[in-house]
Amino acid sequence: MSKNPDTRRVLVGISGASGSLYGVRLLERLAEAGLETHAILSRAAETTLAHETDLTADDVRRRASVSHAPEDLAAAPSSGSFPVLGMIVAPCSVRSMAEIATGATTTLLTRAADVTLKERRPLVLMVRETPLHAGHLRTMLTLAEMGVTIAPPMPAFYGRPATIDALVDHSVGRVLDLFGLPAPGVQRWNGAEGDA
């Protein structure tokens, strides 16, 4: 990872899919790791956040170093000349995923993801949808072929998580692993005990 402070930035998009806690926790963990974070919450994310948590959109924005309005297509993350380590969309709705796959972006969140792709920077989408139909799967394949990491939040139960926070921490930690960043809260698999 570069020591240039200008490139110790990560973009965090939070779309309207269920799972807003993933984006919140990512902002917290990235701040703990000493990175500058730029948050983009979609308007639908604000609604989902109100249903899923006791946090307001402003509470989440305050967890970021900088927050950008989703309709501000002139914001810094809309340009490839704005250096970042990469972008994580957590959670990522299938609508946002489809916009990113086609390049037909309508918000700063999807525009910033498109820019991340064109600049060959890491883009991770924590897609939150189930079940998936063939169109969703084709879109994921298209994105994977473009270099995007599709990382749906999948709970791991070998650590016997006792809380929702433990489940969130594990999925967020696995995404942080992709960037080589500290991932507190991840229970690591060490193999089956007693194997000979």
The answer on pLDDT for 44 being more than 60 is: yes
pLDDT band at 153 (very low <50, low <70, confident <90, very high): very high
pLDDT of residue 193: 61
The answer on pLDDT for 189 being more than 90 is: no
CA distance 74 to 60: 22
More confident residue, 29 or 4: 29
pTM as predicted: 0.93
Q: Mean per-residue pLDDT for 28-43?
A: 97
The answer on pLDDT for 2 being more than 80 is: no
The answer on pLDDT for 196 being more than 50 is: no
CA distance 137 to 191: 31
The answer on pLDDT for 66 being more than 70 is: yes
pLDDT band at 188 (very low <50, low <70, confident <90, very high): confident
The answer on pLDDT for 176 being more than 50 is: yes
Q: Mean per-residue pLDDT for 116-130?
A: 97
Q: Mean per-residue pLDDT for 95-118?
A: 97
pLDDT band at 138 (very low <50, low <70, confident <90, very high): very high
Per-chain mean pLDDT for the chain: 93
Q: Mean per-residue pLDDT for 89-97?
A: 98
The answer on pLDDT for 64 being more than 90 is: yes
The answer on pLDDT for 187 being more than 90 is: no
The answer on pLDDT for 194 being more than 70 is: no
Q: In angstroms, what CA-CA distances link 9 with 25, 27, 36, 157? A: 16, 11, 5, 32
Where does 5-178 sit in CATH, by number?
Answer: 3.40.50.1950
Domain ranges of the chain: 5-178
Tell me the residue ranges of DSSP E strands in the chain. Answer: 9-14, 36-41, 66-68, 86-92, 123-127, 149-150
The answer on pLDDT for 161 being more than 70 is: yes
